[in-house]
Structure 1
Amino acid sequence: MRRLRSFSAIIGIIAAGLALPINADDINEEAWRFQLTPYVWMAGLAGDVRPLENAPTVSTSRSFSSILDDLDGAFFMTGTARQDRLVLFGDISWASLSQASTLPFGIVANSKLRQRFITAAAGYQVMTTPTQQLDLLAGARAWQIDTDINIPALGIDVAKTKQWVDPIVAARLRSLWAPNWSTLLHADIGGLDMSKKNTWQVVATLNYQFSDTLYLSGGYRHLSVKRDETDSLIDIEMGGPIAGITWRF
């Protein structure tokens, strides 16, 4: 709960921007505006996992470089759509990892993990000035985690899929610091049970505008997910640098 209270403080800091005046002249009330950002997330991870009921809980801590050795593929993209003060937001993350390890007596164990989560939210631009814009949103993050464990010598071949949806609330603060330089701070929190089933993340980026339609971004993303159930446990922190290219149209 301590990390959730700290995260709530971040939401409060962002919302403090509401004290700034609103400049309605900066908003185009008619046209839809879109942006898409494919990005790379160089995340490490740490935490506890119990993939099956009655299985031991495994604590893990891996850097991005060690994860890269086992990576089969990954895809990340985020996007927004806007009309007047209406804001639609989406994010897609997918990664697949495979690993072969040797158990006692030379027994080979093969494991495969596929992780997908999709975030969708809608909201309202509650504040806009010549240099800052603040959005407040609500939505959901849908998860699917597939785990396959194969130990041929023991005749073990187990596959398990976990799916769930967490409601979320989010805040996005965009700040212009120079003609071509801006920052974005995104924070969200959610879940059905803050003690056993919760999720939160913080994303901060520095952005450079090359043209009216093209931006380059770099920053950091941290995502936490906890799912404590009778048949499984997932309590993982994922964090690392991100880099992306944004196309606006």
Structure 2
Amino acid sequence: MNRLAAAVFLTLCAAPVAHAADDLPGMATDPAAGAAGHPGWALQVTPYLWATGIEGDISPFRRAPTLHVEKSFSDVMDDFNFGGFINIWGRHDNFVLSGDIMYVDTTESHATGPLAAFQIPGLGRIPAGASVDADVDTQEFMATLQGGYRVLDTPEFTLDALGGARFWYISNDVSVTARHPLIGTVTASHEESFGWVDPIIGARLFVSLTDKLSLHGQADIGGFGAGSDLTWSVLATVNYTFTDNLSVSAGYKVLDVDYKHDGHVFDTRLSGPVLGLTYRF
């Protein structure tokens, strides 16, 4: 998929940052009425575009050399195969539910060498000084699920306390070609996956500015050594309401994780603008 097609796909797949009502970031109306026919209920679904860059350190398989990655959004799109982002927000009375799901598939080529001697799965030990070409296909899945309670509720301002878990799954399919006078040219493929769960705590703030315009902020922090050493995220958007069911929002999102365990390294920060189009049921 070329860069333009990928961008179009993400745009169509995009939007879960805005929401209707102070229940759902994006609509500056009173959510107390709830969804039609369901007093006290409010629910929104938002696919969204996240023009994210990435920076950090990644090891494609256990005890492999750690690679430093620093890419802009355009660089990410060069390697992009498939992906999507979706957000869900719901409330019943003072109880709230938040969900955010991300899936991205990318392929990146690396040419490294000469290297110190190290072990490549399927190739055995590569002599010091070997040159290595590798294609790394990475599939990354993340889901953040939180529940909570509305601790402050006024027509202009709401504050929710949240707690839950962030689930990570990383799969790397590495195709390697190594060249050295002692071994000639050898090739192999290796697939490896790993995952973990991070406990998180967070909060969500909604401020109504006018009947149509609002601000939304959400942040969380977690890991605490239970999965990753540390993970945190921050989202801030400006939201505009078109109808009772439809709103749009734009802002900025950062997602950071520092995971190092059993030879695996995934220490990255994703950050960039977000654009969402939300439908409220």
Give the TM interval when normalised to the shorter protein: 0.7 to 0.9
Over the matched positions of the two proteins, sequence identity in percent amounts to 35
Stretches of structure 2 lacking an aligned partner (at least 5 in a row): 1-29, 114-129, 178-184
Question: Are residue 181 (structure 1) and residue 219 (structure 2) matched?
Answer: no
More displaced, 39-48 or 25-34?
Answer: 25-34
TM-score normalized with structure 2 length:
0.75
Match of 1:86 among 95, 118, 122: 95
More displaced, 147-156 or 188-197?
Answer: 188-197
In structure 1, how many angstroms separate the alpha carbons of the residues matched to 2:262 and 2:132? 29
Map 1:61-140; keep pairs closer than 5 Å: 61-103=70-112, 108-140=133-165
Contact (CA 8 Å) 2:152, 2:158: kept in 1 or not?
yes
Give the structure 1 partner of residue 246 of structure 2. 214
In structure 2, how many angstroms separate the alpha carbons of the residues matched to 1:89 and 1:31? 17
Structure with bigger helix share is 1
In structure 1, how many angstroms separate the alpha carbons of the residues matched to 2:219 and 2:255? 10
TM-score normalized with structure 1 length:
0.84
How far did residue 108 of structure 1 move?
Answer: 4.4
Give the structure 2 partner of residue 198 of structure 1. 230
Give the structure 2 partner of residue 233 of structure 1. 265
How far did residue 103 of structure 1 move?
Answer: 4.9
Superposition misfits of 4+ residues, deviation over 6 angstroms: none
Contact (CA 8 Å) 1:26, 1:128: kept in 2 or not?
no
Contact (CA 8 Å) 2:149, 2:161: kept in 1 or not?
yes
Amino acid at match of 1:45: I
Counterparts in 2 of 1:247 and 1:82: CA distance versus 1, 3 Å: same
Q: Larger relative CO (CA 8 A, sep 6+): 1 or 2?
A: 2
Counterparts in 2 of 1:194 and 1:243: CA distance versus 1, 3 Å: same
C-alpha distance after superposition, 1:123-159 (max 9, x if no partner)? 1010011111111111101110101110255222111
Question: SS of 2:200's equivalent?
Answer: strand
In structure 2, how many angstroms separate the alpha carbons of the residues matched to 1:100 and 1:53? 18
Stretches of structure 1 lacking an aligned partner (at least 5 in a row): 1-24
How far did residue 192 of structure 1 move?
Answer: 3.6
Question: Are residue 44 (structure 1) and residue 50 (structure 2) matched?
Answer: no
Contact (CA 8 Å) 1:148, 1:159: kept in 2 or not?
yes
In structure 2, how many angstroms separate the alpha carbons of the residues matched to 1:44 and 1:187? 19
Question: SS of 1:193's equivalent?
Answer: coil
How far did residue 57 of structure 1 move?
Answer: 1.8
How far did residue 195 of structure 1 move?
Answer: 11
Contact (CA 8 Å) 2:203, 2:220: kept in 1 or not?
yes
More displaced, 56-65 or 211-220?
Answer: 56-65
Give the structure 2 partner of residue 16 of structure 1. none
Amino acid at match of 1:82: R
Question: SS of 2:64's equivalent?
Answer: coil
Q: Which one has the largest radius of gyration? A: 2
Question: Are residue 56 (structure 1) and residue 81 (structure 2) matched?
Answer: no
How far did residue 107 of structure 1 move?
Answer: 6.3
How far did residue 196 of structure 1 move?
Answer: 5.6
In structure 1, how many angstroms separate the alpha carbons of the residues matched to 2:194 and 2:63? 16
Contact (CA 8 Å) 1:28, 1:83: kept in 2 or not?
no
How far did residue 170 of structure 1 move?
Answer: 1.2
Contact (CA 8 Å) 2:60, 2:174: kept in 1 or not?
no
Contact (CA 8 Å) 1:28, 1:84: kept in 2 or not?
no
Question: Are residue 151 (structure 1) and residue 176 (structure 2) matched?
Answer: yes
In structure 2, how many angstroms separate the alpha carbons of the residues matched to 1:131 and 1:226? 37
Counterparts in 2 of 1:196 and 1:26: CA distance versus 1, 3 Å: closer
Contact (CA 8 Å) 1:42, 1:240: kept in 2 or not?
yes
